[in-house]
Amino acid sequence: MPIYALGDLEPDIHPDAYVHPDATVIGDVRIGPHASVWPQTVLRGDNGYIELGARSNIQDGCVVHCTRADPTVLGPGSAIGHAVHVEGARIGSNCLIASGSVVLNGSVIEDGGMVGAGAVLSYNGHVPPGHIALGVPAKIRENTSFGAEQITRVVESYVGRAARFKKELRRLD
């Protein structure tokens, strides 16, 4: 599993977290219990830090970076879908950052906020609780499309998947 220290900066991965062997984790990255990181995702904590709260997940093919001014913080209990780029944003609990979206520096997604598939939330974007960012550039509206229970279901399904992968994943080549 490519997990790298950078000088004194070392990832801190809870023993109950799951990091897929094909994810890359570098430097000041903190991963909480029952959180999960999926294949081809890169978490690069070389300038500022990245924190993944308990039970949160970052799905396949994501790029997560940060700056000293804007660390990237996710969760607890939130999900980042497939192929998402997050660059220095604070994302609360029970949030979903959906597939293929981009969330730029200084953005804040409050608890229960969502970013829709393919949206670009530009610098210092703000999504209040129960709202969603949609489109390019993203516009914020009340979230009547994807409820809090649906977000919880995504989060919990990944807690379960991570437990299964920890036990059952076998490399065959």
Ligand X SMILES: CC(C)(COP(=O)(O)OP(=O)(O)OC[C@H]1O[C@@H](n2cnc3c(N)ncnc32)[C@H](O)[C@@H]1OP(=O)(O)O)[C@@H](O)C(=O)NCCC(=O)NCCS
Which one of 61, 88, 112, 116 is in contact with ligand X (CB under 6 A)? 116
Cα dihedral sign, 159-98-139-45: positive
- Regarding 130 and contact with ligand X (CB under 6 A), the answer is no
Q: Applying CB under 6 A, what is the total number of residues that bind ligand X? A: 12
Interface residues for ligand X in 31-90 (CB under 6 A)? 81
Using rule CB under 6 A, residue 99 touches ligand X: yes
Question: Is residue 100 within 8 Å of residue 121, measured between CB atoms?
Answer: no
Q: What is the DSSP pairing of strand 131-134 with strand 18-19?
A: unpaired
| Dist CA 123 CA 165 (whole Å) | 36
**Smallest distance from ligand X to CB 145, Å:** 3
Cα separation, 48 vs 17, whole angstroms: 21
Q: How far is CA 80 from CA 59, 70, 73, 86, 116, in A?
A: 6, 18, 12, 9, 11
State which amino acid sits at residue 155: V
Q: Which is nearer to ligand X, 26 or 115 (CB)?
A: 115
Quick one: which of 48, 106, 118, 129 contacts ligand X (CB under 6 A)?
118
Residue 165 binds ligand X (CB under 6 A): no
Q: Are 133 and 120 in contact (CB under 8 A)?
A: no
Residue 98 interacts with ligand X (CB under 6 A): yes or no: yes
2 part of the interface to ligand X, by CB under 6 A = no
Closer Cβ to ligand X, 98 or 108, answer by number: 98
Residue partners of 101: CB distance under 8 A and separation at least 6: 81, 84, 85, 115, 116, 117, 118, 119, 120, 121, 133
Only segment of 5-13, 34-42, 69-77, 115-123 that touches ligand X (CB under 6 A): 115-123
Span of 46-54, 68-76, 110-118, 120-128 interacting with ligand X by CB under 6 A: 110-118
Nearest approach, Cβ of residue 98 and ligand X (Å)? 3
Which spans of this chain sit near ligand X (rule: CB under 6 A)? Answer: 81, 98-99, 116-119, 134-135, 145-146, 154
